[in-house]
Amino acid sequence: MAEAAPNYRSARREQGAAQTRQDILDTARRLFIAEGYAQVTMSQIAEAAGVATKTLYASVGTKTQVLHALLAADADASVTTDLFDEMRKCEDLTSAAACLARLARTSSERYAPSIDLLYSSMASDDKARQVWDYIVAHCRRVFREAAGHLLAMGAVAPALDIDNVADRLWFCFGLAAWRSLVVDCGWSYDAAEPLLAAQAVTLLQG
């Protein structure tokens, strides 16, 4: 039987290495979230991923590099500039708040593992704190754009300026709002969404 071509063997090795790396990263994310970043060791990651510790270091580097690889992917995936395009089509505060709640819920639910990872690692890793600050700053800018739209609509109380509206939107729909209800209080997203929408209407009307 003819021997496989060198290029084919090389491609297979690269595919195998890439899959091993992804398996390690997935395992590390699960352990970091469950146990806390500071408590997890490289030996634990290697054992859970079913690889030798030497393979772990060769594939993804140090524990810090593992975390940073996860955070880089999360930051790229979770930040979007057109999050509230749909909301801008709404014509009254109630429908706009419901739309914002739905869109913010979708993002929070989709990226919950990433948010959990950041919460577990911020206290002990500067890069995690930087990624968190980056995501928060971006999200607040987008909420500020939404606030500008609500002001232009004349949908909020006259006494509120753009900073007041943006802060209220962040309070109602920001990362901590969903985590407080879903993680800390055990609510479902289905239950949290209408409550936060109603809260936003109340805060923006008065």
pLDDT tens digits, 62-113 = 888 888 888 776 665 554 445 567 787 888 999 999 999 998 998 888 888 8
Token digits of residue 136: 């928060």
111: phi then psi, degrees, rounded to nearest 5 = -105, 20
CA 202 to chain centroid: 27
Residues of the chain under the 70 pLDDT cut: 1-15, 73-84
Check residue 197 and give its pLDDT.
Answer: 97
Inter-axis angle of helices 162-173 and 189-205, to 10 degrees? 160
Q: Is the pTM of this model over 0.85?
A: no
Check residue 5 and give its pLDDT.
Answer: 57
HSE of 127, CA atoms in CB hemisphere, 13 A: 14
Check residue 81 and give its pLDDT.
Answer: 45
CA–CA separation, 141 and 133 (whole Å): 12
HSE of 68, CA atoms in CB hemisphere, 13 A: 10
- CB–CB of 168/204 below 8 Å? yes
Check residue 196 and give its pLDDT.
Answer: 98
